[in-house]
Amino acid sequence: MPQKHPSKERAWGTRYDTLLSSPPSSPPSRPGQAVTSIPHSPISKHRPEEIVSPAPTAIKSDRPSHECSIFVGSLPSNIDVAELTTLLATHLSLFPEAKKVKVLRDTKGGPCGFVQCDDPASSARLLEVLQTTAPQQPFLGRQLRYESAHAHRTLFVSYRMPAQHAHRIAGLDSSSDADHFAVNFSAGLPNAMRVVRPRSAKYPTVIYNTEAQGYIANTSDWSDTDHATNVEDAFSHEGVLLAPLKFDAETMRKLALAFGPIEHFACYVTDSDDIVPCLSEPEAHMDKVIFPYPHDAPRSPVMAPGMWEVKWERREDCVAALMAASHTSI
């Protein structure tokens, strides 16, 4: 009788494990057949080579599209994931578009949530509602941050007067008083800005004026390996210094390029008369231009009044720019 070999115990793996080869159950695929690529995670620090594997038959994925999901940020970190999932699902139960809620922790242990909808249209509707009602409906005393889970590489950017000064202008009685305040405020704008990424930080941060001009990087903390891996990082060590700081289109473009290669840097075109308000100096028609929120905030007279669309080649560069923008005051 043939000897029976004991069956090997099957081990569970992850979707990133290398697949072991096995005898084909069907004739080998012919040259020219389609291949399926497995992209690496955009959060990954390194850029592994693209992995391809033969796909004789098309397999429909059960995974929902990111265009049907909404990302939820600013969740409390001191609550268990299971309990946080239940609380968030209850908080969103008033919205019929929210079909499923999931909470997980990122690589640093911080919680983030995802809301699954039936299709991209319902996801877009729910996202608009959540972003509008979030200030009126705090979650455990916190203002949650809702964003599309779809990986974008494009940002709209513009200058703005700091919020506290914009509120003062809104409270003034006349336009002449507002203009007088705006002119006086221009003298108080920062004259220098530095964007730098500390060694232990994932994203760059922004510092101004004397702190920006007097910044000295602690080069002793940077090893040869760190220098080699950050050779393309414009914000490591001394970072990017803008002094004197100008509030024009060229400065905005220089900042965008510092984050990484861009596909295009273009003016935002309005729906009315194809106006392209990206000039360095305010024009007579600028008071008629309505920008989308939050780019409709007041500008100082020395600020370029326009709005720009920036598209990066890599998503992680776009994310880094978005994170750095949250630290700016202009």
Q: Does pLDDT of 208 surpass 70?
A: yes
Q: What is the pLDDT of residues 259-296, one digit of tens each?
A: 999 999 998 876 655 555 565 444 444 555 678 878 88
Say yes or no: 255 and 289 in one domain.
yes
Residue 21 within any structural domain of the chain: no
Residue 320 within any structural domain of the chain: yes
Residue 307 within any structural domain of the chain: yes
Say yes or no: 252 and 174 in one domain.
yes
Q: Does pLDDT of 303 surpass 70?
A: yes
Region 240-256 average pLDDT: 95
Q: Return the pLDDT at 252.
A: 95
Say yes or no: 166 and 274 in one domain.
yes
Residue 196 within any structural domain of the chain: yes
Say yes or no: 171 and 259 in one domain.
yes
Residue 56 within any structural domain of the chain: no
Domain range for 81:
66-150
What's the domain count of the chain?
Answer: 3
Q: Does pLDDT of 145 surpass 60?
A: yes
CATH of the domain at 168: 3.30.70
Tokens of 111: 């919680």
Q: What is the pLDDT of residues 147-174, one digit of tens each?
A: 888 767 899 999 988 755 444 444 444 4
Q: How far apart are CA 107 and CA 90, in angstroms?
A: 26
| Cβ within 8 Å of residue 139, ≥6 positions away | 75, 87, 88, 91
Say yes or no: 135 and 282 in one domain.
no
Q: Does pLDDT of 95 surpass 70?
A: yes
Say yes or no: 196 and 168 in one domain.
no
Say yes or no: 329 and 279 in one domain.
yes
> Is the pTM of the predicted complex or chain greater than 0.75?
no
Residue 118 within any structural domain of the chain: yes
Higher pLDDT, 35 or 19: 19
Say yes or no: 70 and 138 in one domain.
yes
Region 96-121 average pLDDT: 89
Residue that terminates a domain, selected from 174, 205, 239:
239
Q: Does pLDDT of 133 surpass 70?
A: yes
CATH of the domain at 70: 3.30.70.330
Nearest in space to 100 (alpha carbons), one of 64, 76, 128, 133: 64
Mean pLDDT score of the chain: 73
Using the structure block, give the residue that is written with the tokens 């069907």: 26
Q: 26: pLDDT confidence band, cut at 50, 70 and 90?
A: very low
Say yes or no: 235 and 263 in one domain.
no
Sequential DSSP letters for 131-178: HHHGGGS-BTTB--EEEE-S---EEEEE----HHHHHHHHT-SSHHHH
Answer for the pair 249, 304: CB distance below 8 angstroms, yes or no: yes
Percent of all residues in the chain with a pLDDT value above 90, rounded to a whole number: 33
